[in-house]
Structure 1
Amino acid sequence: MGGVDHDVLDLFPDSARIKGATLTLGGLTADELAAEFGTPLVVYCEETLRARARSLRAAVTGGHVAFGAKAFSNVAVLKLFREEGLGVDVASTGELAFARAAGFRGDEIIVHGNNKDAALLAEAGAEGATVVLDAPDEAELAAAAGVKRVLVRVTLGVDADTHEAIRTGHHGSKFGLPVTQARSLIEGALECGLDVLGLHVHIGSQLADFDAQAETIVRLASFAAGCRDSLGWVPKVADLGGGFGIRHNTDEHAPDAATLAAGAVETAQTAFREAGLPTPEIWLEPGRSLVGTAGVTLYRVGAVKRLPERTWVAVDGGMSDNPRPQLYEAVYTAVSATRADERAGEHVSIAGMHCESGDVLIDDVALPTPHRGDLLAVPATGAYTLAMASNYNGVTRPAAVLVGDGAARLIRTRETIADLLRAEV
């Protein structure tokens, strides 16, 4: 293992190994990947993607797992998940286009959004997708657009223990409707002739434990019982959303996603039975837990500044390819991808290349004494990095590759300056 701690390597994809001084992913060394595809480069491990998909499907026996495409909308990854029997949830016409390009059709697709426009509803209706109603007047709009099957998203007032920007189930959330309005929406959808399959809830992302979700499921069963009593309607589906967390650093705690998923199914079965209702089919919509740990970002070190206050190590990316440290105070770690046998004896800060003092990728990490030209690997960057990437400072967005069995396949090309100028008039 050289200088890389076992616990740090656990943050990397299943295929990650340290051979001598070098990190390997999918049977390929980090330096050969960087040489062929350039940096920054996001490397996805096929073995990890398939393993996570299979474990979550096995945890939801008799139910349905749909990949939350917002975590990483990529046609090759979506095709892989479809091969593994997953559906997909999308929240825009763009994400729907990615899903269609990957071969998803009809009821394999769930359409979300707190402000769906006419184009998205029309495309969802034409495709035969299931639409999650999220606004008081959306039943009429969906029916007019040709939508047939719907879920109704209800907000049950549970505060998830996560960053405030990614909480979604609390009172006052922009997502879903409180119980009285949700019940009226169900009634309106039934009157419009829509097939109201069931209910949808989601309380937030990067959940570190099951407590908030368990409370939400119990409240959902109670709400469903109220719908039976007042509307004579019983849900056939309970979509419990996603939000299962992953570890981005060695101090972070995140239970196994498949264990949480199995717990959600069991809790729902118990809660609905105790509410006197038939057990609905359980749907889940994981995103981060499917792709997060599968991705590693490779950066090339540029300037190294040893100041009295701290040592700055600048890399050739930053907040344009991973804005999560700025948006969510996300804490990452890094290893030296080609000097992994050396002792990590110097504490440094990893700075991005952008004209912002806040463009700090990692505030404090121990590395072998860094030099210009070193290759760094940042694990757990497969979710919400490229998906949120920008062209700030006119920087082109990185390439992505899929690795496995000693081969790498380009799944997203690196943007060029010509790409940036193409939209200019």
Structure 2
Amino acid sequence: MRRPRHRLQRSAETRRGTERAARDGITINIDLAEELETLEALRSSGRITTARLGLRVNPGLPVFTARDRSFVQAHAAKQRSAKFGWPLDDGLAGHMAERISASGFSFETVHAHLNSQITDATLFLAALDPVLGFVASLRASGTQIRELNVGGGFGVPGMQRSKHGWWSALKATMGERLEDTPTRPSTWPPSPGLARRLREHGLDDLCIGCEPGRYLMSAGMVLVARVAGLKVLPEKQWVVIDAGLTSSHGGLRRAPSAALLSRRRELPVRDDDPDCTIGGPLCFEGDIVMDHARVPASLAAGDLVVLSDAGAYTVSRSTNFNQLRAAVAMRDGRDRTLVWRRETYDDVFCFSD
């Protein structure tokens, strides 16, 4: 990053937020036509005089592979119709770029967020190719694009995305489980491959930005939950814990590992231990932390479940739906600090006078 700047990109921005960003010189990546119209109205009313704009685009190409081809087909279709970004293959991105250029605002940035937990650098770079071609065409037409933000979503080792489609569901009804193939993330960012593609498109001078939030922070925290109880059903065994969607981003259900502790000692897991589903406390069928986990037969209520890779999104997306927010503590060697105290009912019912 040669030119660090703040950027604003949400699929639905408020008028107040847009005005504040423009006044503070924050680059606003346009993802809705209404955002540009709001900026033009703010300028006409004298609320702002200028704004730094970018364009969020969507190449619509797959970035995942899997043993289940039905998942790959569904994933490719979702990529083409994603909410984020203007499609490159039907002229909408080009049309929006023309509108931004004609607005008179500064237009120097293109942004593309390809997905989350991407582990294959080859597919990542292949999806960026049409984006680079688009930037090159904008430059050729006279638009001085200076920066490309390739987004985030860089895969981390401690998480696995579930890659099942209708074929996996069909196999399951026949008593056959189609296992995910564990993937190890590529080295991020894939700088040599990206540099080569930049040269091929004549974009050597382009400033490249990225958003490696999860990649940097994921392993920095764990989520500690307590076992509320176990429920053994004829077709499934549940381990119910006191943390779930209320305490973390739903992506935790993709975590491949959980340490199970009893009286502060880790319980060993054997291959013949029961396969369980670890679920959270909500009366909601989607509150699942791990679909499949080997759990020691000795696990009991009161034991602890320690889930890895909770460093990204966990705190910011926690809620008090069904229970109070948990505390956050930091440990560095022997130093221990309470970062965020446990929420109380007084916090919840603190109404304005």
Residue 271 of structure 1 is matched in structure 2 by 197
In structure 2, how many angstroms separate the alpha carbons of the residues matched to 1:194 and 1:120?
17
Residue 361 of structure 1 is matched in structure 2 by 289
Cα offset, 1:239, TM superposition: 0.7
Partner SS, residue 362 of structure 1: strand
Q: Confirm or deny: 8 A CA contact 1:304 1:312 kept in the other structure.
A: yes
In structure 2, how many angstroms separate the alpha carbons of the residues matched to 1:364 and 1:275?
45
2:312 corresponds to which letter in structure 1? A
Cα offset, 1:370, TM superposition: 1.1
Which residue, out of 315, 329, 335, partners 1:386? Answer: 315
Q: Is 1:232 paired with 2:158?
A: no
Question: Which deviates the most, 152-161 or 330-339?
Answer: 330-339
Residue 260 of structure 2 is matched in structure 1 by 336
In structure 2, how many angstroms separate the alpha carbons of the residues matched to 1:420 and 1:214?
46
- Equivalent positions of 1:234-249 (< 5 A) are 234-248=144-158
Higher helix share: 1
Identity of aligned residues (%): 26
Q: Confirm or deny: 8 A CA contact 2:110 2:149 kept in the other structure.
A: yes
In structure 1, how many angstroms separate the alpha carbons of the residues matched to 2:203 and 2:248?
44
Residue 184 of structure 2 is matched in structure 1 by 254
Which residue, out of 324, 335, 338, partners 1:407? Answer: 335
Partner SS, residue 53 of structure 2: strand
Deviations 1:234-292 (A, max 9, x none): 42111111111123458742325xx221x2x4334322322234430110012221222
TM-score (norm 2): 0.76
Q: Name the CA shift for 1:292/1:148 in 2 (closer, same or farther; >3 Å).
A: same
- Equivalent positions of 1:279-318 (< 5 A) are 279-306=205-232, 309-318=235-244
Deviations 1:105-162 (A, max 9, x none): xx3x210012222111011122221211112353343353635322211222212328
In structure 2, how many angstroms separate the alpha carbons of the residues matched to 1:364 and 1:268?
36
Q: Name the CA shift for 1:318/1:174 in 2 (closer, same or farther; >3 Å).
A: closer
In structure 2, how many angstroms separate the alpha carbons of the residues matched to 1:132 and 1:350?
39
Residue 174 of structure 2 is matched in structure 1 by none
How many positions carry a matched residue from both structures?
314
Q: Confirm or deny: 8 A CA contact 2:54 2:108 kept in the other structure.
A: yes
- Equivalent positions of 1:32-71 (< 5 A) are 62-63=1-2
In structure 1, how many angstroms separate the alpha carbons of the residues matched to 2:267 and 2:204?
59
1:336 corresponds to which letter in structure 2? L
Partner SS, residue 216 of structure 2: helix
Q: Confirm or deny: 8 A CA contact 2:31 2:85 kept in the other structure.
A: yes
Q: Name the CA shift for 1:167/1:151 in 2 (closer, same or farther; >3 Å).
A: farther
Q: Name the CA shift for 1:422/1:307 in 2 (closer, same or farther; >3 Å).
A: same
Which residue, out of 82, 85, 92, partners 1:176? Answer: 85
Tell me the C-alpha RMSD between the 2 structures. 3.2
* Runs of 5+ unmatched residues, structure 2: 66-70, 161-180
Partner SS, residue 79 of structure 2: coil
* Runs of 5+ unmatched residues, structure 1: 1-61, 65-86, 88-106
Residue 148 of structure 1 is matched in structure 2 by 51
1:283 corresponds to which letter in structure 2? G
Q: Name the CA shift for 1:311/1:128 in 2 (closer, same or farther; >3 Å).
A: same
Cα offset, 1:358, TM superposition: 4.5
Residue 61 of structure 2 is matched in structure 1 by 158
Q: Name the CA shift for 1:131/1:168 in 2 (closer, same or farther; >3 Å).
A: farther
Cα offset, 1:173, TM superposition: 2.1
Q: Name the CA shift for 1:205/1:181 in 2 (closer, same or farther; >3 Å).
A: same
Question: Which deviates the most, 196-205 or 182-191?
Answer: 182-191
Q: Which has the larger radius of gyration?
A: 2
Partner SS, residue 293 of structure 1: helix
Query: Does 1 or 2 have the higher relative contact order (CA < 8 Å, sep 6+)?
Result: 1
In structure 2, how many angstroms separate the alpha carbons of the residues matched to 1:132 and 1:185?
12
TM-score (norm 1): 0.65
Q: Name the CA shift for 1:128/1:342 in 2 (closer, same or farther; >3 Å).
A: same
Deviations 1:301-330 (A, max 9, x none): 2323455555433322223213516xx863
